Amino acid sequence: MSKKRKTYTESFKRKAVALSHQKGNVEETCRELGLSTSVLHRWRKEYNEYGKNSFPGRGTPKQTDDQKEIAKLKKQLRESRLENEILKKAGEHLLQERQDKYRFIKHHKLKFPVEKMCKVLEVSRSSYYSWLSKYPSKRWLNNHSIIYFIKHIFEYSYQSYGAERMKAELEKYGHYVSKRKIARLMRELNLIVKRKHKFKITTDSNHKYPVAPNLLDQDFKVHRKNQVWVSDITYIHTSKGWLYLTVIIDLFNRKVIGWAMSNDLSTENTIIPAWHMAAKNIKITQELIFHSDRGSQYASNLFTTVLKSYKGLVKQSMSRKGNCWDNAVAESFFKSLKVEWVYHHKYGSRSQAEVSIFKWIETWYNKRRLHSYLGLRSIEEFEQDMENQKLAA
């Protein structure tokens, strides 16, 4: 049977080395302690090299003070990198409720240490493990549903809805939430509605055509369809040059009832086709005010002849010179179009821009977008409500 190897504690080794130095005689110290001289010499050498870091125990490397400091710094760096990686993954969970943090930890426990994730997310391990054994709270489920719909509505609105419109849409899904809470959640989810840019002035009022009086006089409230139409023209930038968009809007429901897109600003390619689109399916039987700026397209003989063909039913109105507020509804439409849509796209050609703008007007603005003027209803919802009121009357 082999003799069992004797082990010594760190304290014993240190005191043996100290005694050997005190006596000044290794052999005598070894005889007194029952050690071999080779063992004591090895201990003395290790102590001389590593000092207080000597004799760390099995599996632990011996280090000098400098090596130990470097190892400590490396460990801190590894932990810092790990925490940063957790922060990147868990960014949107940091400001949310505890259940959201717990769910993140649960879904990432195979990638990151639970203890480290709890530290970064500032929750205790005991509360996390306690949560694991329970079902999510009713409040958490409700908030989770609200967050889901906010994300959905934000994308559905082409990232254009702020807290007010978001609130109206959420109520359609049965979630009645304050605008303040919605705004907070949107900030935490980093859902940012962009507002920027000034617009080019497109009006060419340096012409010799007669100018119509301002019949509208900034009174944008009307009581029926086809009472007032407003029109304007704007520029859309493409890599192949400018695209010009002309629109006609019915003030009653804010619907774009006529539009045209062209490569030039001629009357023939701007307001004439836009007017024909608006008038194609609408029989004008009552007095209609058609309001625009003083642009040459609207004042031209070609267009005024079209209006005169309605034998006095259509009365032309024009804004005062340099006063954009006189045509504020059309200006507001162009701002919405550009801020919510055009500035988020880069058009390589005019045809690409045409399809994009057609999509925004016909599938979004005229059908689904909520309008403040209509009580945060879409044009289709507003028209349906008007029809229901007629049937009930």
Residue 167 has pLDDT above 90, yes or no: yes
In this prediction, residue 265 has a pLDDT band, given cuts at 50, 70 and 90, of very high
Q: Please give, one letter per residue, the 3-state secondary structure of 150-198.
A: HHHHHHHCCCCCCHHHHHHHHHHCCCCCCHHHHHHHHHHCCCCCCCCCC
Alpha-carbon span 157 to 161, nearest angstrom: 6
Q: Residues 278-283: contacts with CB within 8 Å, 24+ apart? A: 278/229, 278/248, 282/226, 282/257
Output the CA torsion 186→187→192→194 (10° steps).
Answer: 120
pLDDT: which is higher, 92 or 385: 385
In this prediction, residue 363 has a pLDDT band, given cuts at 50, 70 and 90, of very high
Q: The tokens of 170 are what? A: 């959420």
Alpha-carbon span 203 to 260, nearest angstrom: 16
Task: Please state the rounded mean pLDDT for residues 263-283.
Answer: 93
Tell how strand 255-262 and strand 314-318 pair up: unpaired
Alpha-carbon span 389 to 393, nearest angstrom: 6
Task: Please state the rounded mean pLDDT for residues 362-379.
Answer: 93
Q: The tokens of 35 are what? A: 């050690």
Residue 173 has pLDDT above 90, yes or no: no
Residue 213 has pLDDT above 80, yes or no: yes
List, in sequence order, every residue forming a beta bridge with 232; answer none if it has no partner: 247
In this prediction, residue 206 has a pLDDT band, given cuts at 50, 70 and 90, of low
Alpha-carbon span 157 to 2, nearest angstrom: 82
Segment 350-360, tens digit of pLDDT: 999 999 999 99
Contact 140, 99 (CB under 8 A): yes
The H or E element containing residue 228 is strand 228-238
Segment 79-94, tens digit of pLDDT: 777 767 766 666 655 5
Residue 253 has pLDDT above 90, yes or no: yes
In this prediction, residue 309 has a pLDDT band, given cuts at 50, 70 and 90, of very high
Segment 146-158, tens digit of pLDDT: 888 999 999 888 8
Segment 113-161, tens digit of pLDDT: 888 888 888 888 888 888 877 766 677 778 888 888 999 999 888 888 9
pLDDT at 281: 80
Segment 25-81, tens digit of pLDDT: 888 888 888 888 888 888 888 888 777 778 877 656 666 666 666 666 666 667 777
Alpha-carbon span 336 to 195, nearest angstrom: 9
Q: Which of 96-105, 111-120, 131-140, 233-242 has the lowest mean pLDDT?
A: 131-140
- Show the DSSP H helices in 242-282 as ranges: 271-280
